Amino acid sequence: MKAIAAYEDGDEPVVIEKPRPEPVDGEALVRTLRVGVDGTDHEVIAGDHGGTPEGDDHIVLGHEAVGVVADANDTPFEEGDVVVPTVRRPPNGANEYFARGEPDMAPDGQYHERGIVGAHGFMAEYFTSPAEFLVELPPELAAWGFLVEPASITEKALEHAYASRSAFHWDPESALVLGNGSLGLLTLAMLDAEIDRTYCLGRRERPDPTIDVIESTGATYVNANDTSVSEVPDAHEPMDFVYEATGYAPHAFETIEALAPNGVGALLGVPGDWSFEIDGGRLHREFVLHNKALVGSVNSGYEHFEAAIDSLSGLSESFLTDLVTGVYGLDEFEAAFVDDDTTIKTAVEFAAYEER
């Protein structure tokens, strides 16, 4: 079968031949439909994040997948079920985090991430997975199923951010998303369903397709070239919730200043090492005197995937069509990895979905 891989000594993804995997006890064989591409894939290709499976010089890419069960292999699934795989797997047999159903809370060394670190991903014509890591998707969502994983990232971040505000009455009315990449825009649409006034910050000038998407959700575009994150309260309003999806490290600290009293910021970006100056005293004081919180959040668990399916089914077809700028077959897979100003969200299609 064909798979798309990144080599340790390469800087572009390539198509390779691999044997079709055989499911072992407890695993189902899945025929891959579509696999999405996000900023993390670009970081893996560049060698800035993650790593190849032990003993291999390459990693099969892809962690945002949707597929159809091809061989249920005595698992609770049936052939033809549409499924989305979760990303983390235990490295050497289950550990306490996996046993508790909280793999997303496992520290380094206690997980592999398929397509990112230590385990091959889903960009192949077939993949196998233990049934417990497959989430069933309503077939009518099959075409958009590769968006479940990124939406699950936001479900987890929101759960943790809201939990940090659960000790008092907190009813967020304003939210700011930092970053107009695919994660930022998807999150903006998800927040739009819950929060009255939404904003999204980017560094693009008009005309730009991401600004069109932002405005189509009813949100206000904040141009970072005119208004820094710290200036947002004066230029617009203080934010009850901030979701950072730029990976631009100064934003973590500026978020504290963008927050309203009692607000919370969720940090999602994964920057490299970077030293810069901040006014630590002022930020510390801001935190304390205004009961602010910041939470870091990575990965997601089974329940977040289930919540993501619910959220995805509430997003309009027109938003999804604007967000997904290209779905490419294996013969033109390179197009899915182009990262320019006209590309928002892309996916590679391995097989078209056929209703049973």
Tokens of 87: 């990303």
Site string for ligand BGC, 17-56 (x = CB under 6 A): ---------------------x-x----------------
Pairing mode, strands 2-7 and 126-130: unpaired
Instruction: Tell me which residue has tokens 């091809």.
Output: 70
In the complex, residue closest to ligand NAP by CB: 181
What is the distance between the alpha carbons of residues 324 and 205, in angstroms, rounded to a whole number? 20
Tokens of 162: 């809201």
* Position 153 contacts ligand BGC (CB under 6 A): yes
What is the distance between the alpha carbons of residues 70 and 54, in angstroms, rounded to a whole number? 28
Nearest to 213 by CA among 346, 37, 41, 342: 342
When binding is defined by CB under 6 A, the residue of 59, 82, 116, 219 that contacts ligand BGC is 116
* Position 33 contacts ligand NAP (CB under 6 A): no
In angstroms, what is the minimal distance from the CB of 24 to ligand BGC? 24
Nearer to Zn ion among residue 87 and residue 256 (C-beta): 87
* Position 298 contacts ligand BGC (CB under 6 A): yes
Number of residues that bind ligand NAP (CB under 6 A): 26
Instruction: Tell me which residue has tokens 């985090």.
Output: 97
Nearer to ligand BGC among residue 143 and residue 268 (C-beta): 268
Pairing mode, strands 14-17 and 118-119: unpaired
What is the distance between the alpha carbons of residues 63 and 127, in angstroms, rounded to a whole number? 12
Nearer to Zn ion among residue 16 and residue 298 (C-beta): 298
Contact 324, 345 (CB under 8 A): yes
* Position 155 contacts ligand BGC (CB under 6 A): no
When binding is defined by CB under 6 A, the residue of 28, 30, 68, 153 that contacts ligand NAP is 153
* Position 297 contacts ligand BGC (CB under 6 A): no
Render the burial of 157-186: b for 16+ CB within 10 Å, e for the rest.
bbbbbbebbeeeeeebebbbbbbbbbbbbb
In angstroms, what is the minimal distance from the CB of 290 to Zn ion? 32
Site string for Zn ion, 22-51 (x = CB under 5 A): ----------------x-x-----------
Number of residues that bind ligand BGC (CB under 6 A): 10
- Give the interface with ligand BGC as residue ranges (CB under 6 A): 38, 40, 63, 87, 113, 116, 149, 153, 298-299
